[in-house]
Chains A and B, each alone.
Chain A
Amino acid sequence: MSGHSPEEIKKHVKTYIMVFGALIFLTIVTVGISYIHLPVEQAVLLALTVATIKASLVSLFFMHLSNEKKIIYGTLGLTGIFFVFLMSITLYL
């Protein structure tokens, strides 16, 4: 793992706190939207979009994916696309 001097870690800690704030904010947003009772398609799209943003924040920063080599998050990215494809197929089954 690259550069983990105490000073660099301190910078990372700042990032973690900011990401935490963003996650809480997005949680409030997604709960708030649900009270509007949108039609199903829009509700699903919006909820999944917010969830994906939250998930990306957790993976990139808490799980250090942004620090890993290209091969790692390249593979995961491909897996993600494949996963979305499989989920979409269920709509036609």
Chain B
Amino acid sequence: MSHDSHGHGGHGHGNPLADAMEHYSHLSFWRKYVFSTDHKVIGIQYAVTAMCFLLVGFGLMLLMRWQLAFPGEPLPVIGKLLGEALFPGGVMSPEMYNQLGAMHGTIMIFMGVVPLSVGGFGNYLLPIQVGAHDMAFPKLNMMSYWVYFCGGIVMMLSFLMPGGAAASGWTSYPPLSVIASNAQSWWLVGMVFLITSSLLGSVNTIVTAIQLRVKGLNFFRFPVLVWAQLITAFLLLLAFPPLEAAGVLQLMDRVAGTSFFLPSGLVVSGEQLHVSGGGNPLLWQHLFWFLAHPEVYVLILPAVGIVAEILCTNTRKPLYGYKTLVYSMIFLGFTSFIVWAHHMFMTGMGTTLSSFFQATTMIISIPSVIILTTFLLTLYGASIRYTVPMLFAVAFLPMFAIGGLTGLPLGLTASDIALHDTYYVIGHFHYVVAPGTLFALMAGVYHWYPKVTGRMFNQTLGKIHFWGSIIAINGIFMPMFFMGLAGVSRRLYDQTTYAHGKVAQPLNVVMSYAAWSLAIMQLPFLYNLIVSLWKGEKVAAENPWGGTTLEWATPTPPPHVNFPATPEVFREPYQYNSARQIMPQFSKEN
């Protein structure tokens, strides 16, 4: 931050915070709201952009669900609008289906969930929760957002390229991804942008949390959300570069004719491919999953942090097992680096290697159980206040449990033989990410909405949103386990070409109606978020929910410097006295 004072009426040089506020108030619209270095503005930019991409990713799936429920039927209205090339006679083509599938995964993970949980919540809350006035590197923070934005644009533009968007799954396995004549190269370039943005952001997060924490805030007084963001940042920092390297290698294969992933003697459409060969398709899988496994913990950890914050604010008792929870999260982060090949059990690895990864995968389920248990024990004996965020946070627990438990047969090599690449897998990971992480993120949006906007949202609309969503979302993903157990493979354009697929087909109709219902149930959420900005009850209180962490010590909404005076921390978070009154971290009195 600059220390110049261009004589705006000769302000007191004794108070740098007041100077900074004064300087900030004179910035132009562009510097304040578009190219801002204020972590709060950047956080909101990330959150809004990410939510738009979440809607896009959701939309792609809503289209796919028509084909899945009614294979070969023309898509009403939309089918004609999207052109004959991709929708001949209004019917979705298999190529279109594959594009939608690959981009749904890519957009949801890399442009939706992670930017919202890390870029949105992380950027906005982390500096405030450690008592800082901004991130350690504000300009780098701004750059991270715009690099993400550019990556998002590149991904979206890829739909308009000849051959359409990438269509080899979000996993982009070669040789298919290398020989595919579509905008797979755009996908690779887009990924490089998105990965770079994440790397820069994670450096900022780690330095801010460790270096800028205020007096009294030692590591075991960090709010759980801060621990979650810190561990997530390390995962992103160390796990993303191998994927970036792999992306460069695949780009070289596609554009420069190299054979990193193309084996010798590959025949495509009856013709021998004119490349040097000597490459290894499994090399891509190892490099990809080396990132993508830690990535799933990137998806869940900030959500766990958010749920912890909300549970503790609405239970009127302290968090059970803070240290256990923190150690579990650290162990989870570390172990996430040595389980990746459980995505590759069916690739012909030797039994020694498979056993190693099976063992580590079983071990990593332990910290997840411990985390859930500490949350459940926090609720036990609590005086629970069911605010809208609390509804989502409590629902997270059984949903995450289902997701986690269904992972076990996938982590055991013997049962994985039957379940690998079936709908069972899709059901498993969606339970964790959709009614898991996304519910936690929506809880977070509701929970911090009053602090960020200075307005309260409509409680009734929130409750309608919750109940509609929880019912619909289970309607989408629960049947998938049964479909998987029946043997139906994933990524099928029309499963009724198989006898076992025909038998399971009615489930698809249920799932599609559930999906479209889920879409309708998001309308009250969007309406609520937007209209409450004007119509919502004004919130002037600094601490409307009665939280104990530092974000509840700022004015509502927080000014540019967050805290008018640098705060100090006196105790652990989530503390209550015997009269069930909060003892905030930032107040000296008991």
- What is A's interface to B at a CB cutoff of 8 Å? 82, 92-93
Contact residues of B: prevailing secondary structure: helix
**Contact A93 B352, beta carbon cutoff 8 Å:** no
Whether, in the assembled complex, B353 has its beta carbon less than 8 Å from a beta carbon of chain A, the answer is: yes
A91 shortest CB reach to chain B, Å: 11
Instruction: Determine if B286 is an interface residue (Cβ-Cβ < 8 Å).
Output: yes
Count chain B residues whose beta carbon lies closer than 8 angstroms to a beta carbon of A: 7
Residue of B nearest to A90 (CB): B286
Render B346-362 as a binary contact track against A, CB cut-off 8 A, 1 for contact.
00011011000000000
What's the nearest-Cβ distance from chain B to residue A38, in Å?
Answer: 25
How close is A58's CB to chain B, nearest CB, in angstroms? 21
Lowest 8 CB-CB distances: which A-B pairs, in order?
A: A92-B353, A93-B286, A93-B353, A93-B282, A92-B352, A93-B349, A92-B350, A82-B337
Q: List 8 A-B contacts (CB under 8 A).
A: A82-B337, A92-B350, A92-B352, A92-B353, A93-B282, A93-B286, A93-B349, A93-B353
Chain B residue contacts of A92, Cβ below 8 A: 350, 352-353
* A93: chain B residues within 8 A (beta carbon): 282, 286, 349, 353
Which residues of the other chain, A, contact B350 by a CB distance below 8 angstroms?
92
Chain B residue, CB-CB nearest to A85 = B338
Task: Enumerate B269-303 residues with CB–CB distance to A below 8 Å.
Answer: 282, 286
CB-based nearest B residue for A79 = B238
Name the residue of chain B whose CB is nearest to the CB of A82.
B337
For residue B352, which residues in chain A have a CB less than 8 angstroms away from its CB? 92
Assembled-state Cα–Cα distance A19/B354 (Å): 45
Interface residues of B in 299-348 (CB under 8 A from A): 337
In the complex, what distance in Å separates the CA atom of A93 from the CA atom of B283?
A: 9
Residues of B in contact with A (beta carbons under 8 Å apart): 282, 286, 337, 349-350, 352-353
A69 to B282 Cα, complex, angstroms: 41
What residues on A are CB-neighbors of B282 within 8 Å? 93
**Taking CB as reference atom, which chain A residue is nearest B242?**
A86
A20–B376 Cα distance when bound, in Å, is 59
Closest to A93 in B: B286
Chain B residues, CB < 8 A from A82: 337
B263 → A minimal CB distance (Å): 15
Q: Once bound together, how far apart are the Cα atoms of A93 and B353, in whole Å?
A: 8
Beyond A92-B350, A93-B349, A93-B353, 5 additional contacts (C-beta under 8 Å) are A82-B337, A92-B352, A92-B353, A93-B282, A93-B286
**Which chain A residues lie closer than 8 Å to B337 at the CB level?**
82
Residue of A nearest to B347 (CB): A93
Min Cβ gap B340→A in Å is 10
A82 vs B333: C-alpha distance when bound (angstroms):
14
Give the distance to chain B from A63, nearest Cβ to Cβ, in Å.
17
Interchain CA distance A20-B546 in the complex, whole Å: 61
CA distance A93 to B285 in the complex (A): 11
- List the A side residues contacting B349 at CB < 8 Å: 93
Closest Cβ–Cβ distance, residue A82 to chain B (whole Å)? 8
Complex-state Cα separation, A1 to B206, whole angstroms: 20
Smallest CB–CB gap between B455 and chain A, Å? Answer: 44
Question: Smallest Cβ distance from B57 to chain A, in angstroms?
Answer: 32
A82 to B290, CA, bound (A): 14
Chain A residues lying within 8 Å of B286, measured Cβ to Cβ, are 93
Q: How far is the CA of A45 from the CA of B350 in the complex (A)?
A: 26
What is the minimal beta-carbon distance from B267 to any residue of chain A, in angstroms? Answer: 25
Min CB distance A10 to B, Å, is: 31
Q: A93 vs B344: C-alpha distance in the bound complex, in angstroms?
A: 11
Quote the shortest CB–CB distance from A83 to chain B (angstroms).
Answer: 10
Specify which chain A residues have a CB less than 8 angstroms from the CB of B353 in the assembled complex.
92-93
A92 to B349, CA, bound (A): 9
Min CB gap B146→A, angstroms: 30
How distant is the Cα of A93 from the Cα of B349 in the complex, in angstroms? 7
The minimal Cβ–Cβ distance linking B556 to chain A, given in whole angstroms, is 37
Closest chain A residue to B349, Cβ basis: A93
A77 to B350, CA, bound (A): 31
CB proximity of B106 to chain A, nearest CB, Å: 26
Complex: A43 Cα to B444 Cα, angstroms:
56
Least Cβ–Cβ distance between B429 and chain A, in angstroms? 24
Task: Report the separation of the CA atoms of residues A93 and B282 in the bound assembly, to the nearest whole angstrom.
Answer: 9
| Chain B nearest CB, measured from A27 CB (Å) | 27
Q: How many whole Å from A79's CB to the nearest CB in chain B?
A: 8
- Bound-complex Cα distance A82 to B349 (A): 22
B79 vs chain A, min Cβ distance (A)? 45
Q: Complex: how many Å from CA A92 to CA B350? A: 9
- A88 CB to closest chain B CB (Å) equals 12
| Distance to closest chain B CB from A34 (angstroms) | 24
**In whole angstroms, what is the CA distance A82 to B336 when docked?**
13
Kindly report which residue of chain B lies nearest to residue A83, judged by CB atoms.
Answer: B238
